[in-house]
Amino acid sequence: MPGTRKLGRTTDNRMAMLRGMVTLLLETGKVDTTVTRAKEVRCLAEKMITLGKKNTLASRRQALAFITKEDVVKKLFDVIAPDNANRAGGYTAIYKLGPRRGDGAEMARIVLVSEMEKAAAEAAEAKKKKSSKKKAAPKKEEAKKEEAAPVEEKVEETAEAPAEEAAAAEAVAEAPAEEKTEAAE
């Protein structure tokens, strides 16, 4: 039941913090916080998503009264609630991250389940694309080898041509020297 944990704050301060965290969760899809705060945020976020599923003027006004940004309310009613239309609760998941470095408080990440499913689907699509590229890669490598073979032959030919030219130039250079020595005698 929401509101049973005081979280070491006064009521007004606690509700302002929770409103901000619920708004951030609905805006970004995930929030890192302490475990106890995550459990409070989960209760309130699931109530907001349930309001979004009703999609009436009264429910939109109730959501606007709690959520601090109008564009997040629009996202709630237009995107998040339809994604969770066939789900009967359990819109969020809490994962423990371990102790916080500064004070050792147990940290957790609260995530919208619909966002996790989207990310998993995108990862699966990326994996399929990557595997299809690997299958196409050997064909490309064979084509590159075929193209590279004539280039290697051309390189060998050009390497031989300067060598032949250099030998001819040496022969020409040696010939006048021999003629000079014969002429001097």
pLDDT-derived band of residue 164, with 50, 70 and 90 as boundaries?
Answer: low
Domain residues for the domain of 16 are 11-113
Residue 179 has pLDDT above 60, yes or no: no
What is the three-state SS of 130-156? Answer: HHHHHHHHHHHHHHHHHHHHHHHHHHH
Q: Is residue 164 part of a domain?
A: no
Residue 105 belongs to some domain of the structure:
yes
Among 28-37, 73-82, 148-157, where is mean pLDDT lowest?
148-157
Could you tell me the CATH number of the domain that includes residue 68? 3.90.1030.10
Whole-angstrom Cα Rg for the chain: 37
Mean pLDDT of the chain: 81
Partner residues linked to 21 by β-bridges: none
Tokens of 62: 């109730």
Give domain status of residue 118, yes or no.
Answer: no
Question: Is residue 3 in a domain?
Answer: no
Cβ proximity of 38 and 97 under 8 Å = no
What is the rounded average pLDDT of the residues 7-23? 94
Assess contact for 5 and 40: CB atoms under 8 A. yes
CA 97 to CA 33: how far, in whole Å? Answer: 9
Answer whether residue 71 is part of any domain.
Answer: yes
Residue 184 lies in a domain: no
Determine the straight-line distance between the first and last CA of the chain, rounded to whole angstroms. Answer: 120
| CA–CA separation, 60 and 84 (whole Å) | 17
Q: How many domains does the chain have?
A: 1
Residue 23 lies inside a defined structural domain of this protein = yes
Residue 28 has pLDDT above 70, yes or no: yes
Across 90-94, 129-133, 156-160, the highest mean pLDDT is recorded for 90-94
User: How many Å apart are CA 14 and CA 184, to the nearest integer?
Assistant: 112
Tell me, yes or no, whether 136 lies in a domain: no
Closest of 117, 113, 116, 67 to residue 88, by C-alpha: 113
